[in-house]
Structure formats: C-alpha cells, structure tokens
C-alpha cells in the first residue's frame, strides 16, 4: 500500500522555498516517488487570505504556487468536500486555527498522514509526522 500524506501549509511553503526548517524526514517523504503527497485546497485558501491581509509574502499568487507544486513535484490536489466540513463537528478544540482544523478533518476522512511541525496536531486522532 502506498503511503499517503497531506501537507500542512507551512510545510508546503518551506518545501517550495527550500527552507532549512523543513525536517529531514519530511524532505525525504516529499522526494520519495512511492509516497502520494496531497496538497489541500485549504492550504491555498490559507495562503491567499494571509497574502491578501499582508501576513504572508508569496513569490506568486497562491493558486499558481499550488499549480506549480502539482505540475513540478507531482503533488495531488485535494478539494474540500462536505464530508471534510462535517468532520469538524467531531474534532475537540485542541487547536483554534480553522485552517489546521480543516486539514486535520481532511486527513481523518481521507485516511492521510499529516506532515506538520505543529505539535498541537498530535492531540487529534490522526497520524502526524515531522
């Protein structure tokens, strides 16, 4: 069975920017051709909103960054579904960030492993690797 992972937004940004904060383990997973790497529409939303409010500076529009990652790195786009949204009702309030909570919901519904440096996400019933 192929390992299937979902990127947290900061992991995507660190990967695309060659940031040294990206862990060696995460780096190896993202380069492994046997791993299916999912890029969520949630991350595009988060980047777009933060760029628009001045909290994040992007080299390209958020949608273009995601399209490049899909085309160049072979990532798989993951849309937000009704099942993902409904899963939010089941999540305890360990984490207040709505983007991270929706990523957790997607990981739970889709059976994905989250790649994240956010230690708070470990409190959810979803595998987190860093």
pLDDT tens-digit series, residues 45-64: 999 999 999 999 999 999 99
Every domain of the chain and the residues it spans: 3-123
Whole-angstrom Cα distance, residue 69 to residue 66?
5
Residue 82 has pLDDT above 80, yes or no: yes
Q: What is the pTM of this model?
A: 0.94
pLDDT value of residue 95? 78
Stretch (H or E) spanning 106? helix 98-110
- pLDDT of 36 reads 97
pLDDT confidence band for 96 (50 / 70 / 90)? confident
Q: Which CATH superfamily is domain 3-123 in?
A: 5'-nuclease (3.40.50.1010)
Mean local confidence (pLDDT), 107-126? 94
């Amino acid at each position: 069975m192929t390992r299937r992972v979902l990127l947290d937004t900061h992991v995507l940004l660190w990967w695309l920017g060659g940031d040294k904060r990206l862990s060696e383990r995460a780096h190896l997973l993202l380069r492994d051709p046997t791993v299916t790497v999912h890029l969520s529409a949630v991350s595009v939303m988060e980047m777009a909103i933060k760029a628009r409010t001045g909290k994040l500076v992007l080299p390209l529009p958020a949608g273009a960054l995601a399209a490049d990652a899909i085309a160049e790195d072979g990532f798989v786009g993951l849309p937000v579904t009704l099942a993902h949204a409904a899963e939010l009702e089941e999540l305890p309030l360990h984490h207040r960030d709505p983007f991270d909570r929706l990523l957790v919901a997607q990981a739970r519904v889709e059976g994905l492993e989250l790649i994240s440096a956010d230690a708070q996400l470990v409190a959810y019933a979803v595998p987190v690797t860093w």
